[in-house]
Chains A and B, each alone.
Chain A
Amino acid sequence: MELPMAAVIAVLFAAGTYLILRPNLLRVVMGFGLYSNATNLLLITVGGYTRDSGAPFVGADPKTAAGLMDPLPPDIILTAIVISFAVSALMLTVCYRVYRDHGTDNPEELPVDDDFTREGELVSVALAHGGDGSKVAAGPVRLLGVREGRRGAKRPAPKQKAKRR
């Protein structure tokens, strides 16, 4: 059983790597999902999964020790599933937020912060002049990004960006 599993894991990891390297944020999240599934399959294989294996703790036949599976890998998998689920959910939210801020889901079209974070985008500059946030509203800096409509209004419509994939 190990050889087909190894092949499946390899394909999943390869596909995940391909997706992560695509210039598209959503595909990065999907690639991450494939990575975590590949990891979970790897852990099942590690646990000595065979055709005769039963459920952990019980085995194929509860009366004997036959087909008893190591319970630790399933345990690890459960934890890993929960965590990767939470991380993907957060990643999707952040991707959506980036898309709404910049009107693109292509990471290569995002502004580059190579030496200096762009003027008016950094929180600390705002803090330098108010501390309590009082002067922030007057300046170019917007501390809180949650403003429906305002930011999106100036951006090109999302449909135009869909071509580049």
Chain B
Amino acid sequence: MNSLILAILIPFFTALVLALLNGYRRLEMAVALCSSLALTAWVFWLLFYVDTHGVQVVVVGGWMAPWGVAFVADRLTCIMLCLSSGLGMLVQLYSFWTVTEEQQRYFFYPLMQAMLLGVNWSFITGDVFNLFVAYEVMLMASYGMMMVGASPAQVRQTLKYIAINGIGSTLFVAGCGVVYATVGTLNMADLAVRTAQITGQRAGMVTAASMLLLVVFALKAATFPLIYWLPDSYPVVPAGVNGYFAGILTKVGVYSLLRVFVLCFRQEGHQFALDVLLFLSGLTMLLGVLGAMCRWDIRRILSWHIISQVGYMVMGIGLAGSPDPRVVQLAVAGTIFYVVHHIVVKSCLFLVGGIAERVSGSQHLKQMGGILDVAPGVGGLFIVAALSLAGMPPFSGFLSKFVLAQAGLAGGNYVVVSIAVITSFLTLYSMSKIWSYAFWGERRHERAPAGYRGMMVPTAVLVAFTIAMGLYAQPFLGLATRAAETLTNPEEYIRVVLSAKQNRLAEMPRPSAQVVARAEEGR
């Protein structure tokens, strides 16, 4: 299915067109919105198609899969594509109210599309090195996005972000090199086939090589020792887009961990990497929530919560190291469900936070106060999202935590499950702090709140989604379970990718074939 690649071509061409349209404010907004709508509709159709017809693959340029670059869409890819494209659309809609003309002149919408391009690309690629290139596209766009407006705070925080991600990227290339040296391939399906046959001392080498990639992905996902770049840099991202950053960018790291460490590395003793992740996840959860509890800046509180939530997802991935295949299945399904829940709820909270800042004119909790008096609707949106984040029963947060805890208890990991439960309570405390300081209490000033009603539309869509995921969970859980099956039993994935049909281009003589022919003539 060649049209698979539209998931990255649409944002790519839109970014180019929007860069040319820079200065035509209304036209730019209209093109950005239409393109995102088209992209979202397309990826949702793709999800439906892949769910019924199985894994789809495109080999670029007709080079066969283990050698050329393959773009693969399985269910997990499609779920992530839907979330990233749909959220991108909502965030752009939200930005119509928050982004000033001056900021827009800093190529806001082209950068947004470029970020969509990078994110979708990293989801759809079936090759580890290509994943690196996708990461770089995504990161470059996010550097630019973080500096839109170029205030001193933004520039100095972006510098840190660039530096730490630059180091991460070089480690990623080094990791690709070492994995290529030990396994001999970088194609994900081929990696899964080859590593499954590796035992003994070489398996240890492959595990060591994979640890380099683990560091890189853990850095991107903000897992325990590598978290401190996040809560400083995310608060300077313009309101609205920070919802996209919070929801998607760290989850690209989680997705890569899931893809590479559950699907690709299957050598003897590969559980070591997952055990390391399980150990780190408990610390990530606890440290993240403790960091959030002592902050007073609403954006910083929410940013620290990203870290503690990433801990839950990494815990799910770590639980996949269990010897019992049913536990593995449940843990991976729970992680996928959690990723969906988290992306929706976390970005929703950032969007509500943006509205609250706009209504109260501050982002410091002690100066906000009394939002409920002037904007009760915003309070309604916040309380649903906050309770869902903390894991209260009717919403998606409860179910996703429940599935993960179930997997953890079935695997006998009582310590990490109890940390997860404690973290959940502390999250509730932190959310009630925002509620009582920002929404309750007296208004701190008499200024009339700025217009915010339009911004509530995309936020309300996300809130509706988390309620639907909680009350009508079975279809979502079923999809997550089927996606987990493709990951944990990758026979279908491997078969489809490695036997991808050659298209006409592939039948043309290849450069290497020409060289060989010329050499033979010479002889």
Contact = CB atoms under 8 A, between A and B. Distances in A.
Given A79-B133, A117-B297, A102 B151 contact: no
Interface stretch (B7-15, B110-118, B510-518): B510-518
A40 B358 CA distance: 48
Contact of A124 (B162, B177, B239, B300): B239
A88 B163 CA distance: 9
- Contact-residue bracket for chain B: 35 or more
A35 B170 contact: yes
A14 interface: no
B337 interface: no
A101 B176 contact: no
B53 interface: no
A10 interface: no
Contacts of A118: 153
Interface stretch (B100-108, B386-394, B409-417): B100-108
B450 A124 contact: no
Given A42-B178, A98-B159, A117-B297, A145 B97 contact: no
- Contact-residue bracket for chain A: 35 or more
B295 interface: yes
A144 B102 contact: yes
A123 B181 contact: no
Contact of B100 (A57, A111, A133): A133
A92 B181 CA distance: 33
Interface in A68-85: 72-73, 76, 79-80, 83-84
A125 B153 contact: no
Interface in B480-523: 511-512, 515, 518-519, 522-523
A127 B100 contact: yes
27 contacts: A32-B170, A35-B170, A39-B177, A40-B173, A42-B177, A42-B178, A43-B174, A43-B177, A63-B522, A72-B180, A79-B129, A83-B136, A88-B166, A90-B140, A94-B143, A94-B159, A101-B155, A111-B156, A115-B296, A116-B300, A116-B363, A127-B98, A131-B97, A131-B98, A141-B151, A143-B151, A144-B150
Contact of A145 (B151, B171, B354): B151
Contacts of B186: 72
Contacts of B235: 113, 117, 122
Contacts of B148: 123
A145 B150 contact: yes
A149 interface: no
B423 interface: no
Contacts of A73: 177, 180
A131 B97 CA distance: 7
A43 B162 contact: no
Contact of B163 (A57, A83, A91, A144): A91
A62 B518 contact: yes
B357 interface: yes
B163 A39 contact: no
B157 interface: yes
Contacts of B232: 113
A59 to B, nearest CB: 9
A105 to B, nearest CB: 11
A58 B151 CA distance: 52
B239 A127 contact: yes
B156 to A, nearest CB: 5
Main secondary structure of the interface of B (DSSP, over half): helix
Contacts of B176: 76
A145 B149 CA distance: 7
A122 B133 contact: no
A8 interface: no
A132 to B, nearest CB: 6
B154 interface: yes
B108 to A, nearest CB: 12
Interface in B287-325: 295-297, 299-300
Nearest to A91: B162
Contacts of B296: 115-116
Given A127-B100, A128-B357, A122 B151 contact: yes
A122 B153 contact: yes
Contacts of A131: 97-98, 100, 358, 450-451
Interface string B248-279: 00000000000000000000000000000000
A101 B154 CA distance: 11
Contact of B361 (A110, A129, A145): A129
A19 to B, nearest CB: 11
B84 interface: no
B155 A94 contact: yes
Given A39-B177, A46-B181, A84 B511 contact: no
A20 B167 contact: yes
B194 interface: no
A22 interface: no
A146 interface: yes
Given A83-B133, A127-B100, A145-B151, A46 B167 contact: no
Contacts of B177: 39, 42-43, 46, 73, 76
A101 B151 CA distance: 9
Contact of A130 (B100, B297, B354): B100
A124 B103 contact: no
Nearest to B185: A72
